């Protein structure tokens, strides 16, 4: 038989009375007593002390630490709630990277809404929940205990149950049989409902909130996109800087050297100037190559297809390019696709021993798909280079994926997929 | 700035008259309209956008004043930009890497060719175009020497210049050119051969 997945389902089950649920309800309600008492004591003492010390800075600091008490209450109460919630309650707190310092951690936790909610729950627990639970569960437990002990008590002394005076063990036993079962039934359901309601409250206040999760995910995604965007902007800035600065100066240098060549008579001096001119040109060519790796101009001005063609033209082996796109895509997506192709073709040329290569790009619904295939030796290991890893991170931020299939003996096939839009 | 001054001094020394030296595309259009020169030399990128204002200015000048030769210089050349230049015109156009200005004699020769209505294409662009067609049937049928001649033709050189470059006679170049046109099934017309070759390579 299927185990009930919540206290309410257990209450509705026909096996409720013979299951562990009534006892769990007792345990849950009664265990709220020590926790509740401790909580209210800590909150009261903390409150009084911090108010008393509030003229001093210590008092204020103490007040700001209150949400951390909430975090602690949350941990204990979520653990206790496992009695009533079979799967337990998931923590609403954001997961923090291991690299963050303790100080940063506590600062973040103090400001987290979930911490304040847990603190509120702590107040409720200390003021209302534990006294109520004590009254209800305590009375039921007492009555049940007396009923069970009725034969013994009636044997030792006399026991008054309304108009009925029990004064020997037999009468006590009759009372136990007549009153015990109905009371067990009524009290079990009563306590079950009570405990389930409390657990529900704990879940509502100490568990993660749906919209909170959604908001966190959306914020996370946005911040990653911002990061990718900032990356692009920065690359564009660096490229501009190089173009307007160093490159212009080198061009000026080649012009001056060119003019000097014209004026100098043949001889050692002229030979050296010609050499210097050649070196300046080589520097310009290197710089152009570097700039292409940072922020390719063709990509910005003419889009993915032209840029992929250009990168294919520069490859030492023949590359067949087949790219058909409906139009321009957002810059970060074009850049990601371009660098995938560029990196892949570089790797093919370096490692694959291929004789030919094929780059295809198309859109499938609202996704951009780009594949790079070669007829080389295969056995490419994506973990070996940092290039591919970086691209995967970049694509990941855009909601895209990169798959590499490269069995030993080839062929190698790289497939990139990415949404065509940034906003979703 | 630096480039503009350097260019002006090179042109001065060669006996050309520098009418104006301006720093953005709008001013360029204005001064060209006011007193049309023989040739306009422009960078692809210009303020304020630093994108392809120079190319757009070139297209505008070509549309308004088709007799003015246009030489476009760039930090970086790619076939993709060539198309926007060739679309509007068949001659009097040049597209070169800025580095080429340093080879003063050759640069001035290119400038003269543009002024005369010829086409000048940077060797780097031609190399890209040839790289794209390397598996192609007809091109594979060319001999290495013919490929060299084809590349030089695509750069916009005339036979004499090709002959000088390859250290052969002009007659030999004429023979190679004839073979190339025959193998590629192109019509040979001397005045249009650059655009014919480029169109073939870009198709």
Of B10, B45, B105, the CB nearest to A255: B10
Total domains in chain B come to 2
The pLDDT of A189-196, averaged and rounded, is 86
Q: Look up tokens 């210590």; give the residue.
A: A58
Neighbours of A114 (CB within 10 A): 22
Radius of gyration in angstroms for the set of CA atoms belonging to chain A, rounded to a whole number: 37
Q: Which of A275-279, A388-392, B20-24, B27-31 has the lowest mean pLDDT?
A: A388-392
The phi-psi region of residue A38 (left if phi > 0; otherwise alpha if psi is between -120 and 50; otherwise beta) is alpha
Please determine, for residue A47, whether its predicted confidence score (pLDDT) is greater than 80: yes
Do B42 and B97 sit in the same domain of this protein?
yes
Q: Which of A106-115, A182-191, A277-286 has the lowest mean pLDDT?
A: A106-115
Do B114 and B150 sit in the same domain of this protein?
no
Structure confidence at residue A369 (pLDDT): 94
Say whether A255 and B134 touch across the interface (CB within 8 A): no
Bridge partners of residue B70, in order along the sequence: B40, B93
Please determine, for residue A58, whether its predicted confidence score (pLDDT) is greater than 80: no
Q: Which of A89-93, A233-237, A276-280 has the lowest mean pLDDT?
A: A89-93
B108: pLDDT confidence band, cut at 50, 70 and 90? very high
Q: Which of residues 113 through 142 in chain B touch A, CB cutoff 8 A? A: 128-129, 131-132, 134-135
In A352-411, beta strands by DSSP E: 357-364, 367-374, 401-405
Say whether B81 and A301 touch across the interface (CB within 8 A): yes
Say whether B6 and A255 touch across the interface (CB within 8 A): yes
Do B110 and B131 sit in the same domain of this protein?
no
CB within 8 Å of A40: residues ≥ 6 apart: A125, A126, A127, A130
> Where a domain ends, among B104, B121, B138?
B121
What is the distance in angstroms between the Cα of B96 and the nearest Cα belonging to chain A? 13
Burial of A283 (0-12, 13-18, 19+ CB in 10 A): middle
Do B61 and B109 sit in the same domain of this protein?
yes
Do B13 and B112 sit in the same domain of this protein?
yes
Structure confidence at residue A423 (pLDDT): 65
Residue of B nearest to A302 (CA): B80
Helix ranges (H only) for A157-168 are none
Whether A32 and A84 have beta carbons less than 8 Å apart is answered as: no
Q: How far is CA B151 from CA B123, B129, B157, in A?
A: 8, 9, 9
Say whether B3 and A248 touch across the interface (CB within 8 A): yes
pLDDT digits (tens, 9 = 90+) for B131-172: 776 666 677 788 889 888 988 988 888 888 899 988 999 999
Size of interface A-B (CB pairs under 8 A): 90
Q: Which of A67, A47, A63, A75 is nearest to A115 (CA)?
A: A67
Q: What is the CATH number of the domain that holds B177?
A: 1.10.10.10
**Cα dihedral sign for B83, A314, B168, B112?**
positive
Mean pLDDT for chain A? 84
Do B24 and B69 sit in the same domain of this protein?
yes
B1: pLDDT confidence band, cut at 50, 70 and 90? low
Please determine, for residue B111, whether its predicted confidence score (pLDDT) is greater than 90: yes
- For residue B19, whether the previous peptide bond is cis, meaning omega lies within 30 degrees of 0, is no
Structure confidence at residue A18 (pLDDT): 81
Mean pLDDT for chain B? 84
> Where a domain ends, among B64, B96, B121?
B121
Of A247, A258, A277, the CB nearest to B75: A247
- The pTM of the full predicted model, rounded to 2 decimals, is 0.65
- The Cα–Cα gap between A332 and A204 comes to 40
Q: Return the SS3 of A5.
A: coil
> Where a domain ends, among B94, B121, B148?
B121
CB within 8 Å of B61: residues ≥ 6 apart: B29, B32, B40, B68, B70
Q: Which of residues 9 through 68 in chain B touch A, CB cutoff 8 A? A: 9-10, 13, 45, 50-52
Q: Which residues on chain A are in Cβ contact (under 8 Å) with B102? A: 251, 254-255, 257-258, 277, 280-281
Helix ranges (H only) for A82-168 are 102-111, 113-124, 130-156
The DSSP letter of residue A365 is T
Whether A345 and A315 have beta carbons less than 8 Å apart is answered as: yes
Answer with the residue of higher pLDDT: A186 or A168: A186
The pLDDT > 70 percentage for chain A reads 95
Q: Which residues on chain B are in Cβ contact (under 8 Å) with A291? A: 76
Do B83 and B64 sit in the same domain of this protein?
yes
Q: Which of B102, B155, B101 is nearest to B124 (CA)?
A: B155
Of A257, A314, A318, the CB nearest to B102: A257
- The Cα–Cα gap between A350 and A371 comes to 18
A420: pLDDT confidence band, cut at 50, 70 and 90? confident
Whether A77 and A125 have beta carbons less than 8 Å apart is answered as: yes
Q: Look up tokens 């990128």; give the residue.
A: B45
Q: Which two tokens stand for residue B127?
A: 């190399």
pLDDT digits (tens, 9 = 90+) for B92-107: 889 998 889 888 888 9
pLDDT digits (tens, 9 = 90+) for A249-274: 999 999 999 989 888 899 999 999 99
Burial of A344 (0-12, 13-18, 19+ CB in 10 A): buried
Please determine, for residue B115, whether its predicted confidence score (pLDDT) is greater than 70: yes
Please determine, for residue A360, whether its predicted confidence score (pLDDT) is greater than 90: yes
* Interface contact B145, partner A, CB < 8 A: no
Pairing of strands B93-97, B119-121: parallel
Q: Which of A106-115, A179-188, A332-341, A381-390 has the lowest mean pLDDT?
A: A381-390
Of A258, A298, A310, the CB nearest to B103: A258
> What totals of helices (H) and strands (E) does chain A contain, helices first?
14, 7
Whether A262 and B104 have beta carbons less than 8 Å apart is answered as: yes
**Cα dihedral sign for A65, A70, A71, A72?**
positive
Helix B170-183 to helix B159-166 angle (10° resolution) is 110
- The Cα–Cα gap between B107 and A161 comes to 120
Residues of A with CB under 8 A from a CB of B: 240, 243-244, 247-249, 251-252, 254-259, 261-262, 277, 280-281, 284-285, 288, 291-292, 297-298, 300-302, 306-307, 309-310, 312-314, 318
In CATH, A298-419 is 3.30.565.10 = yes
Q: Which of A27, A10, A9 is nearest to A19 (CA)?
A: A10
Q: Which domain holds residue B23?
A: 2-121
Please determine, for residue A411, whether its predicted confidence score (pLDDT) is greater than 70: yes
Do B113 and B149 sit in the same domain of this protein?
no
Say whether A252 and B135 touch across the interface (CB within 8 A): no
- The Cα–Cα gap between A163 and B45 comes to 106
Q: Return the SS3 of A73.
A: helix
pLDDT digits (tens, 9 = 90+) for B44-88: 888 777 778 888 888 888 888 888 999 999 888 887 788 777 776
**How many CA atoms within 13 Å lie on the side-chain side of A331?**
17
Structure confidence at residue A352 (pLDDT): 78
Structure confidence at residue A1 (pLDDT): 47
Do B55 and B7 sit in the same domain of this protein?
yes
A168: pLDDT confidence band, cut at 50, 70 and 90? confident
Do B134 and B188 sit in the same domain of this protein?
yes
Burial of A424 (0-12, 13-18, 19+ CB in 10 A): exposed
A331: pLDDT confidence band, cut at 50, 70 and 90? confident
Do B131 and B107 sit in the same domain of this protein?
no
pLDDT digits (tens, 9 = 90+) for A201-233: 888 888 877 777 777 777 787 788 888 888 888
Helix (H) or strand (E) holding A354: none
The 3-class secondary structure across chain B, one letter per residue, is: CHHHHHHHHHHHHCCCCCCCCCCCHHHHHHHHHHCCCCEEEEECCCCCCCCCHHHHHHHHHHHHCCCCEEEEEECCCCHHHHHHHHCCCCCCEEEEEHHHHHCHHHHHHHHHHHHCCCEEECHHHHHHHHHHCCCCHHHHCCCHHHHHHHHHHHCCCCHHHHHHHHCCCHHHHHHHHHHHHHHCCCCCCHHHHHHHHHHHHHC
Of A249, A258, A302, the CB nearest to B102: A258
Structure confidence at residue A338 (pLDDT): 93
Do B141 and B116 sit in the same domain of this protein?
no
Structure confidence at residue A385 (pLDDT): 65
Please determine, for residue A183, whether its predicted confidence score (pLDDT) is greater than 70: yes
Whether B22 and B54 have beta carbons less than 8 Å apart is answered as: no
Q: Which residues on chain A are in Cβ contact (under 8 Å) with B107? A: 258
Neighbours of A333 (CB within 10 A): 22
């Amino acid at each position: 038989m299927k185990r009930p997945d919540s206290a309410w389902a257990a209450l509705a089950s026909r096996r409720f009375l013979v299951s562990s649920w009534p006892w769990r309800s007792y345990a849950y309600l009664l265990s709220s007593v020590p926790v509740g008492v401790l909580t209210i004591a800590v909150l009261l003492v903390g409150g009084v002390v911090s108010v008393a010390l509030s003229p001093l800075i210590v008092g204020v600091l103490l007040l700001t630490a209150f949400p951390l008490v909430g975090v602690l209450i949350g941990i204990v109460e979520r653990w206790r709630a496992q009695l009533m919630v079979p799967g337990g309650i998931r923590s609403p707190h954001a997961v923090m990277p291991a690299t963050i310092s303790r100080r940063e951690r506590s600062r973040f936790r103090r400001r987290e809404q979930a911490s304040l909610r847990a603190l509120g729950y702590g107040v409720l627990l200390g003021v209302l929940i534990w006294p109520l639970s004590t009254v209800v569960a305590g009375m039921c437990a007492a009555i049940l205990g007396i009923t069970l002990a009725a034969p013994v008590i009636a044997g030792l002394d006399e026991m008054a149950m309304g108009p009925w005076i029990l004064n020997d063990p037999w009468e006590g036993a009759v009372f136990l049989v007549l009153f015990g079962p109905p009371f067990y039934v009524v009290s079990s359901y009563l306590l079950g409902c009570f405990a389930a309601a409390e657990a529900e409250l704990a879940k509502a206040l100490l568990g993660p909130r749906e919209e909170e999760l959604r908001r966190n995910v959306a914020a996370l995604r946005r911040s990653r996109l911002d990061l990718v965007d900032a990356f692009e902007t920065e690359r564009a800035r660096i490229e501009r800087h190089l173009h307007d600065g160093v490159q212009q100066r080198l061009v000026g240098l080649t012009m001056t050297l060119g003019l000097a060549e014209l004026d100098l008579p043949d001889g050692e001096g002229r030979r050296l100037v010609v050499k210097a001119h050649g070196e300046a040109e080589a520097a310009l060519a290197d710089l152009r190559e570097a700039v292409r790796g940072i922020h390719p101009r063709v990509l910005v001005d003419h889009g993915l297809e032209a840029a992929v063609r250009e990168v294919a033209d520069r490859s030492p082996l023949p590359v067949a390019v087949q790219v058909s796109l409906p139009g321009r895509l957002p810059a970060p997506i074009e850049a990601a696709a371009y660098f995938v192709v560029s990196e892949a073709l570089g790797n093919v040329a370096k490692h694959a021993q291929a004789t030919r290569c094929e780059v295809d790009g198309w859109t499938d619904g609202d996704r951009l798909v780009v594949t790079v295939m070669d007829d080389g030796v295969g056995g490419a290991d994506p973990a070996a280079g940092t290039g591919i890893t970086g691209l995967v991170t970049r694509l990941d931020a855009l909601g895209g994926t990169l798959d590499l299939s490269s069995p030993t003996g080839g062929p190698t096939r790289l497939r990139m997929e990415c949404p065509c839009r940034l906003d979703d | 700035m630096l480039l503009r001054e350097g260019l002006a001094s090179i042109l001065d020394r060669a006996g050309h008259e520098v009418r104006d030296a301006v720093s953005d595309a709008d001013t360029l259009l204005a001064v060209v309209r006011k007193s049309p020169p023989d040739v306009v030399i422009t960078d692809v990128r210009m303020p304020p956008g630093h994108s392809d204002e120079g190319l757009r200015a070139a297209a505008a000048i070509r549309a308004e004043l088709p007799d003015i030769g246009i030489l476009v210089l760039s930090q970086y050349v790619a076939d993709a930009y060539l198309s926007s230049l060739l679309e509007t015109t068949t001659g009097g156009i040049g597209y070169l890497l800025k580095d080429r200005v340093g080879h003063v004699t050759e640069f001035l020769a290119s400038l003269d060719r543009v002024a005369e209505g010829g086409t000048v294409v940077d060797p780097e662009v031609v190399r890209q175009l040839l790289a794209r067609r390397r598996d192609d049937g007809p091109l594979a049928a060319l001999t290495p020497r013919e490929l060299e001649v084809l590349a030089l033709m695509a750069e916009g050189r005339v036979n004499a210049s090709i002959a000088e470059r390859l250290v052969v006679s002009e007659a030999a170049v004429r023979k190679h050119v004839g073979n190339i046109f025959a193998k590629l099934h192109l019509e040979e017309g001397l005045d249009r051969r650059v655009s014919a070759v480029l169109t073939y390579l870009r198709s």
